[in-house]
Structure 1
Amino acid sequence: MESRDLSALWMLPAGPPPPGVESNFVNPPSLAMPIVIVNAISLALMMVAVTARFIAKSRYSQQRWDLSDVFCVLATMGSIAHSALTIHNTTVNYGRHMWDIPALSLTVSRTKQYAAVDIIYILTSFFIKISILLLLNQLFHVIRQLRLLIYIGIVIISIVTIPYLAISIIRVSRCNGINALGIMICSNKVVSTTNLVFGLWNVLSDFYILAIPISQIQGLKMPNKRKIGVLTLFLTGFIACSMSIVRLVIIIAKFNKKDTIYTGASLSPYSAVEMKLAIICSCVIFFPAFFRQRKTKGLATQGSSF
Structure 2
Amino acid sequence: MPSVDFDFYSLDSATQSHILQTTPALYPPGGQESNFDNPPNGTATAAVLLVIFLSLITVSISARVYVRFFCIKERALADYLLILGYAIIIVSFSLTLQVSQRPGFFVHQYNVRLGDFIWLLKNIFIVKQLNSVAICLIKVAILLDWIRIFAPTGRCFVYWASHALIWANIVFFVALLVVYNIVCTPYARNWDIMLKGNCSRTNIHDTNLAISIFTIASDFLILAIPQRAIWSLHMSTKRKFSVSAIFAIGILACALALVRSIEMMLQSSWTDITYAYSVGVICGAAELTCGILTISVPSLPKALSSIRFREFASWLSLSTKKHRWFRSQMANTRVPTALARPSHRLTWHEMEARGNSPASVATANHQLFPFDSNQTLLHEDVDIERGIHRST
| TM-score grouping bracket, smaller chain normalisation | 0.7 to 0.9
Match of 1:145 among 149, 154, 157: 157
* Residue identity opposite 1:137 in structure 2: I
Match of 2:204 among 164, 188, 191: 191
**Cα distance in 1, alignment partners of residues 226 and 204 from structure 2:** 35
Question: TM-score scaled to structure 2, two decimals?
Answer: 0.68
Equivalent position SS for 1:182: coil
Match of 1:182 among 182, 198, 201: 198
* Higher mean C-alpha displacement, 156-165 vs 258-267: 258-267
* Residue identity opposite 2:81 in structure 1: F
* Residue identity opposite 2:388 in structure 1: S
Q: CA RMSD in A?
A: 2.9
Residue 16 of structure 1 aligns with which residue?
A: 27
| Structure 1 residue ranges (4+ consecutive) displaced by more than 6 angstroms after TM superposition | 1-6, 222-226
| Cα shift readout 1:40-61 (whole Å, capped 9, x = no counterpart) | 0011111111111111112221
Mark the runs of 5 or more structure 2 residues left unpaired by the alignment: 1-11, 315-386
Match of 2:93 among 83, 99, 102: 83
- Displacement of 1:160: 1.2
Indicate if the aligned counterparts of 1:46 and 1:280 stay in contact, CA closer than 8 A.
yes
- Displacement of 1:80: 1.4
* Residue identity opposite 1:193 in structure 2: D
Relative distance call for 1:255 and 1:40 in structure 2 (3 A) is same
Structure with greater Cα Rg: 2
Map 1:105-254; keep pairs closer than 5 Å.
105-107=116-118, 111-141=121-151, 142=154, 144-170=156-182, 171=184, 173-175=188-190, 176-179=192-195, 182-185=198-201, 190-221=203-234, 230-254=243-267
* Residue identity opposite 1:146 in structure 2: V
* Residue identity opposite 2:82 in structure 1: C
Relative distance call for 1:288 and 1:83 in structure 2 (3 A) is same
Indicate if the aligned counterparts of 1:229 and 1:288 stay in contact, CA closer than 8 A.
no
- Displacement of 1:113: 2.3
Higher helix share: 1
Indicate if the aligned counterparts of 1:82 and 1:121 stay in contact, CA closer than 8 A.
yes
**2:91 is aligned with 1:42:** no
Question: TM-score scaled to structure 1, two decimals?
Answer: 0.86
* Residue identity opposite 1:165 in structure 2: L
**Cα distance in 2, alignment partners of residues 4 and 145 from structure 1:** 65
Relative distance call for 1:135 and 1:258 in structure 2 (3 A) is same
Indicate if the aligned counterparts of 1:119 and 1:165 stay in contact, CA closer than 8 A.
yes
**Cα distance in 2, alignment partners of residues 209 and 287 from structure 1:** 21
* Higher mean C-alpha displacement, 98-107 vs 268-277: 98-107
**Cα distance in 1, alignment partners of residues 148 and 83 from structure 2:** 17
Residue 72 of structure 1 aligns with which residue?
A: 82
Residue 388 of structure 2 aligns with which residue?
A: 304
Relative distance call for 1:230 and 1:116 in structure 2 (3 A) is farther
* Aligned positions, number: 299
| Cα shift readout 1:25-50 (whole Å, capped 9, x = no counterpart) | 12112242222111100111111111
Give % identity. 23
Relative distance call for 1:226 and 1:86 in structure 2 (3 A) is farther
Indicate if the aligned counterparts of 1:233 and 1:282 stay in contact, CA closer than 8 A.
no
